[in-house]
């Protein structure tokens, strides 16, 4: 595949987060689309950290971003902790590179010093709006005379460096949005170095995409307006080709507004801690705005790599549906083998303060895998197996009180007499107990469930009692019958 329709080149994509906290699922989807594009074409996926704004980026946020990407299985070929031919991969370590290219733009007449103060810019913006003109920068400092520049310098007036935007049409050939034309004069000159010497996003990202030989830039449509500016900047720096761009719509909530914390969990780490599988989240994010056909929902990682094409990404925003994600997660959980599922549940059980018996946990998996929407639900479903410090919940207390101590004492005796200790013989004993009391199975079993599991909801009762063991089950029944 080629970046510009010409000779074949190695496809190179990148993900360039500014890690100020847990990675948002929208950013994770961007990373996934870039990763899949690189892997589909046997190319390279580059991780670049946009940390020039020290007030926003934290080391903790960086570590969280790297961990989230690893958890999702989005490995990078170049970047932090790996290195590569275009190192360093943190923009905070590339400031000299940006200054060098900014000076090149000045020397070739493509950039100039702008002495306009924020107050002056705001005043001119309001004036333009009042007269029905576009509020962008009016080019005031483009053609300053040497005397005017000297006067500003003599005042000690701070300056920023602006790129002189060519006065011509720009057509962006976007792989998602199609061809989009920006008319001459609609794009004002823009700042590339701030007055404190720090590079702007437009300069840093444009220079890095050029130097790191990106063939495809895949990012959210909120950055689309920067594209013609970065193309102009790269051309001014002598780039012989520019990347192919793909700007995907943002993820929205049910109210069609951009997904944010008001919609619930929005970060990869939050979904991980809720007990979603990385396979599920990758699959769901992939199809959130992209489709291979009208029928297929579930894809293995290998199938995604084989079939993904960013050109098939929808132009319309995709709604994040947590219920669908939970449904998909349940399906993935059901298809895990019991040992793998048990291993993934251990973290949540131990985090809840439970002492886990690995063998017992593996035996319990077939009882709960169809019920679990998330791994964290294993805590409530299986707590009764891994601690004897059980306090019945409110509904369980009601069931115990309604049944009365005599019925529960009879249940203890019935279970104590069961031989052999299997789910089948336990079930027969519970049915006989209920029948003897003139109860149907539901009403006869529920108080036993409440006493043994401390909950009104549990895995299948006979199997649960079998796993709990005769001594522990009988002890709990006697305890509540004598309370």
Q: What is the pTM of this model?
A: 0.93
The rounded distance, in Å, linking the Cα atoms of 278 and 299 is 13
Q: What gap in Å lies between CA 238 and CA 163, rounded to an integer?
A: 15
Alpha helices, H only, 131-198? 146-155
Token pair recorded at residue 157: 């007036």
Strand, helix or coil at 260? coil
Q: In terms of Cα–Cα distance, which of 125, 120, 100 is closest to 111?
A: 100
Among the listed residues 409, 328, 414, 333, the one whose alpha carbon sits nearest the alpha carbon of residue 377: 333
Task: Give, in degrees to the nearest 5, the angle at Cα 164 between 162 and 165.
Answer: 120
List CB contacts of 436: < 8 A, sequence separation 6 or more: 410
Distance CA 99, CA 252 (A): 38
pLDDT at residue 102, rounded to an integer: 98
Dihedrals φ, ψ of 39, to 5°? -70, -35
**Exposed / middle / buried, residue 184 (Cβ in 10 Å: 0-12, 13-18, 19+):** exposed
Question: β-strands 190-193, 160-163: how paired?
Answer: antiparallel
CA angle 122, 123, 125 (to 5 degrees): 60
Token readout for 223 is 């950055």
**ω before 88 within 30° of 0 (cis)?**
yes
Residue 395 a catalytic site member: no
Q: Which among 261, 315, 395, 402 is annotated as catalytic?
A: 261
Span 73-128, pLDDT tens digits: 999 999 999 999 999 999 999 999 999 999 999 999 999 999 999 898 889 888 88
Going by their DSSP bridges, the two strands 170-174 and 178-182 should be labelled as antiparallel
Length of the chain: 483
Burial class (CB in 10 A: 0-12, 13-18, 19+), 96: exposed
- Among 29, 75, 66, 73, smallest CA distance to 279 is for 73
Per-residue pLDDT of the chain (483 residues; tens, 9 = 90+): 444 444 468 999 999 999 887 899 999 999 999 999 999 999 999 999 999 887 788 889 999 999 999 999 999 999 999 999 999 999 999 999 999 999 999 999 999 999 999 898 889 888 888 888 878 888 899 989 999 999 999 999 999 999 999 999 999 999 999 999 999 989 999 999 999 999 999 999 999 999 999 999 999 999 999 999 999 999 999 999 999 999 999 999 999 999 987 787 799 999 999 999 999 999 999 999 999 998 899 999 999 999 999 999 999 999 999 999 999 999 999 999 999 999 999 999 999 999 999 999 999 999 999 999 999 999 999 999 999 998 999 999 999 999 999 999 999 999 999 999 999 999 999 999 999 999 999 999 999 999 999 999 999 999 999 999 999 999 999 999 997
Residue 393 has a pLDDT of 94
Contact 334, 370 (CB under 8 A): yes
Q: What angle do CA 107, 206, 310 make, to 5 degrees?
A: 155
Question: What is the full DSSP assignment across 293-332?
Answer: SSS-----HHHHHHH--GGGB-SSPEEP-HHHHHHHHHHH
Burial class (CB in 10 A: 0-12, 13-18, 19+), 431: middle
CA pair distance 282, 291, nearest whole angstrom: 14
Instruction: Kindly state the tokens that stand for 101.
Output: 């290219």
Segment 321-335, tens digit of pLDDT: 999 999 999 999 999
Ordered domains of the chain (ranges, CATH): 1-80+249-335 (3.40.50.620), 337-386 (1.10.8.70), 388-483 (1.10.10.350)
Q: What span, in angstroms and rounded, lies between the C-alpha atoms of 456 and 446?
A: 7
What's the pLDDT score for residue 5?
44
pLDDT, one tens digit per residue, over 428-477 is 999 999 999 999 999 999 999 999 999 999 999 999 999 999 999 999 99
The DSSP letter of residue 382 is H
């Amino acid at each position: 595949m080629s970046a510009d329709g010409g000779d074949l080149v190695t496809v190179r994509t990148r993900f360039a987060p500014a890690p100020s906290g847990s990675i948002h699922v929208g950013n994770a989807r961007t990373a996934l689309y870039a990763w899949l594009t690189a892997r589909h074409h046997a190319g390279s996926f580059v991780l670049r950290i946009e940390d020039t704004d020290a007030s926003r980026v934290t080391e903790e946020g960086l570590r969280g971003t790297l961990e989230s990407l690893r958890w999702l299985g989005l490995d990078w070929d170049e970047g932090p902790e790996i290195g590569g031919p275009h190192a360093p991969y943190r923009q905070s370590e590339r400031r000299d590179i940006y200054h060098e290219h900014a000076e090149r733009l000045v020397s070739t007449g493509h950039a100039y010093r702008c002495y306009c103060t924020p107050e002056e810019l705001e005043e001119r913006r309001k004036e333009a709006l009042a007269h029905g003109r576009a509020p962008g920068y009016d080019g005031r400092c483009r053609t300053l005379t040497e005397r005017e520049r000297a006067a500003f310098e003599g005042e000690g007036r701070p300056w920023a460096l602006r790129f002189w935007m060519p006065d011509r049409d720009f057509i962006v050939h976007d792989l998602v949005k199609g061809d989009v034309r920006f008319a001459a004069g609609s794009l004002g000159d823009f700042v590339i170095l701030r007055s404190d010497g720090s590079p702007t996003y437009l300069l840093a990202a444009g220079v890095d995409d050029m130097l790191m030989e990106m063939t495809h830039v895949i990012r959210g449509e909120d950055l689309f307006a920067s594209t013609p500016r970065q193309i102009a900047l790269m051309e001014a720096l002598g780039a012989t080709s520019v990347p192919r761009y793909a700007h995907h719509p943002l993820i929205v909530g049910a109210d069609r507004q951009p997904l944010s914390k008001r919609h619930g969990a929005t970060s990869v780490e939050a979904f991980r801690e809720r007990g979603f599988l990385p396979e599920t989240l990758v699959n769901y994010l992939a199809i959130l705005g992209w489709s291979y056909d009208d029928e297929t929902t579930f894809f293995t990682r290998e199938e995604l790599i084989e079939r993904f094409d960013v050109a098939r990404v929808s132009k319309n925003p995709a709604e994040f549906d947590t219920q669908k994600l939970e449904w998909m997660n349940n399906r993935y959980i059901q298809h895990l083998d019991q040992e793998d599922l048990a291993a993934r549940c251990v973290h949540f059980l131990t985090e809840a303060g439970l002492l886990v018996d690995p063998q017992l946990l593996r035996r319990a998996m077939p009882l709960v895998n169809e019920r679990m929407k998330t791994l964290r639900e294993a805590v409530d479903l299986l707590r009764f197996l891994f601690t004897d410090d059980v306090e019945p919940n409110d509904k369980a207390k009601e069931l115990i009180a309604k049944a009365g101590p005599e019925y529960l004492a009879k249940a203890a005796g019935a279970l104590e007499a069961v031989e052999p200790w299997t789910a089948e013989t336990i079930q027969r004993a519970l049915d006989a107990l209920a029948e003897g009391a003139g109860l149907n199975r539901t009403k006869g079993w529920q108080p036993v469930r409440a006493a043994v599991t401390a909950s009104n909801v549990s895995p299948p009762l006979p199997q649960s009692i079998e796993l709990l063991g005769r001594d522990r089950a009988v002890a709990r029944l006697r305890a509540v019958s004598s309370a």
